[in-house]
Structure 1
Amino acid sequence: MAEAAGVSRQTVSNVLNAPAVVRPDTRGRVEKAIADLGYRPHASARRLRTRKSSTIGVRLDPVQNGISGAVLDRFLHAVTEQADRRGYRILLYTAASPADEIAQFGRLLDGADVDGFVLTSTSFDDPRTEWLIAAGAEFVTFGRPWGLDDVDDPRHRWVDVDGRHGIASATRSLLDDGARRIAFVGWPAESGAGNDRRRGWREAMAAGSGLSPKALDALDLHLEDSVSVAAAAVHGLLEGGGLDAVVCASDTLALGASTVVGPGVRVVGYDDTPVAAALGFSSVQQPLEEVASAALQLLLDGESGGEAGGAAGGAADRHRLLRPRTVWR
């Protein structure tokens, strides 16, 4: 290659890796030689030389219920597709618990198999992020560090969707259409994302429903993410005084609610899964393409590059909070 272009090997390397430092006429000769010879860079050799694997580790989450779990499948597809455009591969691994995943971190880092991680399913006091920060590993999370003191720690880069805004917006729209008794079907209190979504409903209802705090408490359900459990609980509310609408923390819960409400009661879910589209109930849609793009930008570029379309204001340079939208049906 170098001989064909009449340049040194270092010049060829510069054209491939830092073309801006090579004079245009020299760069043109090298690029022509590359085209004529059909040269393709040897990826394995480059990884050995740079000590970079060009690989990102992502845990393959177990299927939980086949409904709301679909959102992580869509995110994984988006992040894999966008990583490929950047010349990176995705390495999938499994883990049965946070401790098991931390053990996987150690093995993958010790073997130089990955350059960093994209974490999903963040939880209160998540030990995975603490371990990665202590190890000096590169990572970004899809989800805020619930319950930790590192929400504003620049070493913890995160992307999340503003569920509070999404649920509040959906609830306000229902209120504007004349609904007043709007129930919220959400998860138990140990869920950070669930609590965030519940706050959105509560704030919108307190401002626009005219109902007392006690009446709102009666409409606020804390349930496991189960179709049958949601159906039974919403049926109980219907028998106890009727409902105008039901807003849910997931499409799983919304599916349960939709099986028992009458035609005049609107149901709104969360995640806009294929189930919501097939059965025709409204749902809050997360911008997963934007989430994947922002996660890779933070992980690979080290900064968000400022506020982008759809981002909520106030996010730090290495944190992104994106706003969802409701798909009305």
Structure 2
Amino acid sequence: MTPTCRPTKGAPVARSPRLEDVALAAGVSRQTVSNVINSPGIVREDTRERVSRAIADLGYRPHAAARSLRTRRSSTIAIHLDPYAGGISGVVLDRFVHALTDLAGVRGMRVLLYAARDHREEIGRLTELLDGGEADAIVITGTFHGDPRTRWLAGRQTPFVAFGRPWGEDDHHAWVDVDGAAGTRAATRWALESAGPEVAFVGWPSGSDTGDDREAGWRSALPTGDGLRLVSEESVSDARAVVAQALASGTAVDALVCASDSLAVGAHLAAVAAGRADLPIVGFDNTPAAEAIGLSSVEQRPERVASAALDLLLGPSESSGGASRHVLVEPQLVLR
């Protein structure tokens, strides 16, 4: 771990100074610095002067999003509501939206849901909301390589945060995501220790950033970095057919790690039909479907994602301890 040095008065820093740097230099909490910037009247004069000197000495500039939200008109954060697609794994985004709404209310903000069929229509809808003063900040989801929404929002200097990484793009904007590779890595290590060396992976076709990330975690945990990889669309029936074929072929499979709970449910049905109901299978998303049939799964912790997203938009809450511009939430392996 690289040690963190306490900034001293007037000392240059290798990166742009952050709120916590000012707090350390002034000998106060992050919240006190935030109060000096946002509500100076509630801070004692001597403390306010000490913080102000630290801000000047370090050259700290509050994040543009925070400055914009301090002059907000509607106290509203807009987020896209994905169309209902059925299936098993959509519950994760639902949990995220619910958590975001609850946590935003605690911090004096409201959440507005809007619908759009594609990204071009979404930009049009955002234009209406922002120009009409109906929203002050945006949370976007479902990011992908070359996402036009991030460039458009940055060009408007609109405070926004993405739930999802930019995947190789310029990542100067704020984002929070789940470390999918860490989740499948933990699942694979558990399977190797508890079931045997032949741990296969059931994933989506190559080219999905999220799917490739989860596959990379599985590979990184294998002693040789390679193993049986089964390919399926995001479908219970497709996964069942793919896994049934692999088991029928006599290929050695001690356990299965899957890119989603939908794939895990399909794999479980195939294993039961093949007389291997006890085959260890780990899904991803920890949905009620996985819980109902007793499948282990990787929990994404969407509530933590929502909390981090709000910290990036509004500044850290007193209990959060602060947040960087990019946050990877560590998922949790739930064993059943």
Instruction: Map 1:202-281 onto structure 2 (within 5 A).
Output: 202-205=219-222, 207=223, 213=226, 216=227, 219-240=228-249, 241-261=251-271, 262-281=276-295
How far apart, CA to CA, are the structure 1 residues paired with 2:106 and 2:318?
A: 19
Contact 1:304 1:317 in 2 (8 A): no
Larger radius of gyration: 1
In structure 2, list runs of 5 or more residues that go unmatched.
Answer: 1-38, 46-69
Contact 1:272 1:327 in 2 (8 A): yes
Is 1:167 the counterpart of 2:177 in the alignment? Answer: no
Give 1:138's aligned residue: 159
Give 1:321's aligned residue: 328
User: 1:242: how far off?
Assistant: 3.7
Give 1:297's aligned residue: 311
1:210-243 alpha-carbon deviations (Å, 9 max, x no partner): 5x84xx2xx2123210000000000111012141
Structure 2 SS opposite 1:58: strand
Give 1:99's aligned residue: 120
1:269-297 alpha-carbon deviations (Å, 9 max, x no partner): 00100001101100000121211111001
**Further displaced range: 106-115 or 49-58:** 49-58
- Match for residue 120 of structure 1 among 141, 153, 156: 141
How far apart, CA to CA, are the structure 1 residues paired with 2:329 and 2:318?
A: 14
User: 1:182: how far off?
Assistant: 1.4
Contact 1:124 1:190 in 2 (8 A): no
Which residue identity does 2:286 align to in structure 1?
A: D
Structure 2 SS opposite 1:57: strand
How far apart, CA to CA, are the structure 1 residues paired with 2:148 and 2:317?
A: 25
Give 1:58's aligned residue: 79
Give 1:43's aligned residue: none
How far apart, CA to CA, are the structure 2 residues paired with 1:264 and 1:279?
A: 12
Scaled by the length of structure 2, what TM-score is found?
Answer: 0.75
How far apart, CA to CA, are the structure 2 residues paired with 1:174 and 1:74?
A: 28
Residues 305 and 171 (structure 1), Cα distance of their counterparts in 2 relative to 1, 3 Å cut: farther
Instruction: Map 1:2-13 onto structure 2 (within 5 A).
Output: none
Is 1:183 the counterpart of 2:200 in the alignment? Answer: yes
Give 2:95's aligned residue: 74
- Match for residue 192 of structure 1 among 209, 215, 219: 209
Residues 51 and 83 (structure 1), Cα distance of their counterparts in 2 relative to 1, 3 Å cut: closer
How far apart, CA to CA, are the structure 2 residues paired with 1:185 and 1:108?
A: 41
In structure 1, list runs of 5 or more residues that go unmatched.
Answer: 1-16, 24-48, 310-315
Which residue identity does 2:100 align to in structure 1?
A: V
**Further displaced range: 162-171 or 260-269:** 260-269
How far apart, CA to CA, are the structure 2 residues paired with 1:179 and 1:112?
A: 58
Contact 1:120 1:143 in 2 (8 A): yes
Scaled by the length of structure 1, what TM-score is found?
Answer: 0.77
Contact 1:304 1:318 in 2 (8 A): no
Give 1:4's aligned residue: none
Stretches (4+) displaced over 3 A: 303-309
